[in-house]
Structure 1
Amino acid sequence: MNDIDAPTDHSDLRVMSTDECTGRLATAGIGRVAFVRSGEVVVLPVHHVVHGLDVYFRTSGGSKIEAAADHSQVGFEVDDYDRALLTGWSVSLTGAASLVDEDDLIRELADSDPTPWMVGDPNHSVWVRIRPDQISGRELLPR
């Protein structure tokens, strides 16, 4: 399907397929995780990896771990924008966060993320999994 024939939403943005969304998730190095902590919405940047449909990130403490330990619902978003061409895209998902405790998976994730973007020692971090229950993406095409 060419971009002209692609479905668009109410604001004329091209709707991306699930495969496109997961592909864009995998190529974006930094995303934003959103969750509620003490009644306030918190949005934090994280370096992430994609394994299947799940999104994983490492953290060394604080509210992200607490949200994951509670199997909280979280949001996650990645995007890109080209100011010169006035094009861009955004992928967002929602799902349950949980701590990863499978040793083989932890090793596999660490191998796929050899230089994490995080404060603290990666050897004293935990992995958080976001298992999506909804994923969507939109793209602003050149005019």
Structure 2
Amino acid sequence: MSASDAADVPVDHSGLRVMSTEECMERLSRAGLGRLGFVLAGEVTVLPVHHLVHGMELYFRTSGGSKIEAAADHSAVGFEIDDYDRATVTGWSVSVSGTASLVDDEQLAEELAGLDDAPWPGGDPSDSVWVRIRPDQISGRELLPH
């Protein structure tokens, strides 16, 4: 990156490059595993979930109770993916905050199942439900090489 290119890159208060919404969504669609954060019974819970992006929304399939409880209540959730390379001291993070809800549209559920090219191992997909995360905010930051 030339000095003039570097001047055009938006950075936050700590010097991290600010990623565009489009870049955040692209990275979300490439990453198959993220972390879902929510409050359950007064405690913060963070769980790994295999997800996919469809339009501007995130989806994951689950048959576990805690994630379904949070989604069924139209709970506020956080979702995060990241990558870091210790050797080059570079990395990035994408965070999403929004509302989770159960997918009750059978046609959409079938469409999502067709898009799910690498489902989470274990469990019977027919015993699971899809959860939608409707983002209110999407942000991403990148630590560039020095």
Q: Return the TM-score normalized by structure 2.
A: 0.93
Structure showing greater Rg: 2
Distance of aligned partners of 1:29 and 1:125 in 2 relative to their CA distance in 1, 3 Å threshold: same
**2: CA distance between counterparts of 1:4 and 1:80?**
24
Are positions 1:129 and 2:129 aligned together?
no
**2: CA distance between counterparts of 1:67 and 1:118?**
22
Matched with 2:35 is: 32
Equivalent of residue 100 in structure 1, options 86, 96, 103: 103
44-53 or 102-111, which deviates more: 102-111
Q: Return the TM-score normalized by structure 1.
A: 0.95
Q: What SS class does the counterpart of residue 48 from structure 2 fall into?
A: strand
Q: What SS class does the counterpart of residue 36 from structure 2 fall into?
A: strand
Q: Please list every run of 5 or more consecutive structure 1 residues that lacks an aligned counterpart in the other structure.
A: none
Q: How many residues align?
A: 143
Moved over 3 A (4+): 1-4
Are positions 1:63 and 2:63 aligned together?
no
Matched with 1:75 is: 78
Equivalent of residue 11 in structure 1, options 9, 14, 19: 14
Are positions 1:42 and 2:45 aligned together?
yes
**1: CA distance between counterparts of 2:79 and 2:7?**
28
111-120 or 6-15, which deviates more: 111-120
11-20 or 1-10, which deviates more: 1-10
CA contact (8 A) 1:95 1:131 kept: yes
> Share of identical aligned residues, percent?
70
**2: CA distance between counterparts of 1:30 and 1:63?**
18
Distance of aligned partners of 1:30 and 1:4 in 2 relative to their CA distance in 1, 3 Å threshold: farther
